[in-house]
């Protein structure tokens, strides 16, 4: 098919930007799977288009239309797929053809951003692909992949980024809520159902690991899992360890749920007017606190809107010890005060004084931290303006998109 056909299709999704036709590169992103990841993908797409790149979105809710458009393009090794969490690379039928993916048949390079610990992607990572570039949101995750999947050589650290509000910030004094937390909760009832499928000795092993993390929160999930496996299966190979760690997601979910409940409860005990957006909280005792409003599961745009209408935003890093969470940057961009624990990465790159900091070793301090922050709105406003400028200059999805684009441009030179 002629390259001119590519140009014709591009006029539907956006004009071709003053490139010679023979140099046109197509960048695919995927929407229609996980709402949060779609939101991130759309922000990346917007940034790439603003930079003059040619971007097409595959809509998983319209697979036939998306497939037809794909097949009309003369795609090849110079074209790129950018996806999250192996969406589009996990054998989904709409992306498959004759036991191979459409991306592989076209010879396209694939970029995958993993927003969870790599242990969740054991099956996908084990199926090695030489033309796959990985971006991970925590430097400890980068180290994990390099040690356990040495065949992958194009691995990079890429922290999450914030969602920029479209509306003007509401003055702090006029906001409806004192405090917001956006995130779901996995409590004991849910975890107990998972436990029933496990052998008693496995439950004991997992609980010992949870206790180790609870007693020493500075430990990484990887180190605790490795120590446990070295003790019970000292002869295990790296591949066997990987298979075992994949089965230990219960430990990750449990320790995060335990601390998330504790931190949110301590913040709510301040008595301040609080809104929580996310599922599962009906399983917790926080559901009965009179100062708390629950919105349930919602989308990214709604979370952003309510963050803009709150004076403080509470964050807990999902056991990221050398990375950041998008809640941090979204709060800054909403000019909302941020209360959070810190990682090695955030401690290094955040200017002093942007965050009302707490530690997992002393969650009791959170109640007073909320009260003290709200007692001085002038200081809170000063911090929010400083944090806004910092995030605008460093931590929007545009910044992450340009980092990825640098890598793509390097392939062109190679």
Q: State the CATH architecture for 172-198+257-394.
A: 3-Layer(aba) Sandwich (3.40)
User: Radius of gyration (Cα) for the chain, nearest Å?
Assistant: 23
User: Options 3.40.50.300, 3.40.50.2000, 2.40.10.220, 3.30.9.10; which CATH number does 3-161+397-413 get?
Assistant: 3.40.50.2000
Residues 377, 296, 63, 132: is their CA dihedral positive or negative?
positive
> CATH 3.40.50.2000 spans which residues of the chain?
3-161+397-413, 172-198+257-394
Contact 163, 325 (CB under 8 A): no
- Core vs surface per residue 88-109: b (16+ CB within 10 A) or e: bbeeeebbeeeeebbbeebebb
Locus of tokens 């929580």: 276
Q: Provide the 8-state DSSP code for 396.
A: B
Predicted model pTM: 0.93
The CB density around residue 39, as the number of other CB atoms within 10 Å, is 18
pLDDT, one tens digit for every residue, the chain (414 residues): 333 344 434 433 444 343 334 457 999 999 999 999 999 999 999 999 999 999 999 999 999 999 999 999 989 999 999 999 999 999 999 999 877 899 999 999 999 999 999 999 999 999 988 899 999 999 999 999 999 999 999 999 999 999 999 889 999 999 999 999 999 999 888 888 888 889 999 999 999 999 999 999 999 999 999 999 999 999 999 999 999 999 999 999 999 999 999 999 999 999 999 999 999 999 899 999 999 999 999 999 999 999 999 999 999 999 999 999 999 999 999 999 999 999 999 999 999 999 999 999 999 999 999 999 999 999 999 999 999 999 999 999 999 999 999 999 988 777
Q: Which two tokens stand for residue 228?
A: 């446990």
Residues 372, 377, 380, 384: is their CA dihedral positive or negative?
positive
Contact 405, 398 (CB under 8 A): no
Q: How far is CA 134 from CA 69, 94, 151, 235, 373, in A?
A: 26, 23, 12, 30, 39
């Amino acid at each position: 098919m002629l390259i001119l056909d590519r140009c014709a299709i591009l006029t539907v999704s956006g004009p071709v930007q003053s490139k010679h036709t023979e140099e046109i590169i197509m960048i695919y992103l995927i929407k229609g799977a996980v709402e949060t990841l779609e939101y991130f993908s759309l922000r990346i797409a917007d940034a790439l288009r603003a930079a003059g790149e040619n971007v097409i979105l595959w809509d998983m809710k319209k697979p036939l239309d998306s497939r037809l458009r794909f097949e009309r393009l003369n795609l090849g090794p110079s074209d790129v797929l950018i996806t999250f969490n192996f969406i589009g690379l996990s054998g989904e039928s709409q992306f498959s053809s004759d036991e191979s993916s459409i991306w592989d048949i076209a010879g396209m390079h694939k970029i995958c951003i993993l927003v969870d610990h790599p242990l969740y992607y054991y099956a996908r990572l084990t199926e090695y692909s030489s033309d796959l570039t990985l971006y991970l949101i925590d430097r400890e995750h980068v180290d994990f992949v390099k040690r356990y999947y040495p065949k992958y050589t194009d691995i990079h650290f890429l922290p999450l980024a914030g969602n920029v509000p479209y509306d003007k910030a509401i003055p702090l004094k006029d906001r409806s809520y004192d405090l917001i937390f956006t995130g779901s909760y996995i409590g004991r009832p849910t975890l107990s159902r998972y436990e029933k499928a496990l052998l008693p000795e496995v439950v004991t092993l997992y609980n010992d690991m949870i206790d180790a993390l609870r007693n020493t929160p500075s430990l990484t999930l990887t180190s605790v899992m490795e120590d446990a496996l070295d003790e019970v299966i000292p002869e295990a190979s790296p591949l066997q360890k990987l298979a075992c760690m994949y089965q230990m997601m219960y430990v990750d979910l449990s320790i995060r749920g335990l601390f998330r409940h504790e931190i949110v409860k301590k913040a709510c005990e301040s008595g301040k007017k609080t809104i929580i957006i996310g599922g599962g909280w009906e399983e917790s005792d926080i559901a009965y606190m009179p100062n708390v409003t629950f919105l349930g599961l919602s989308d990214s745009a709604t979370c952003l809107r309510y963050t803009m209408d709150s004076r403080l935003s509470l964050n807990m890093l999902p056991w990221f010890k050398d990375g950041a969470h998008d809640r941090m940057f979204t709060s800054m961009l909403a000019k909302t005060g941020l209360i959070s624990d810190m990682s090695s990465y955030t401690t290094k790159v955040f200017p002093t004084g942007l965050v009302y900091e707490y530690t997992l070793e002393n969650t009791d301090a959170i109640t007073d931290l909320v009260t003290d922050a709200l007692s001085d709105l002038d200081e809170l406003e000063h911090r929010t303006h400083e944090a806004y400028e910092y995030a605008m200059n460093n931590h929007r999805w545009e910044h992450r998109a340009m980092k990825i684009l640098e890598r793509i441009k390097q392939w062109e030179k190679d």
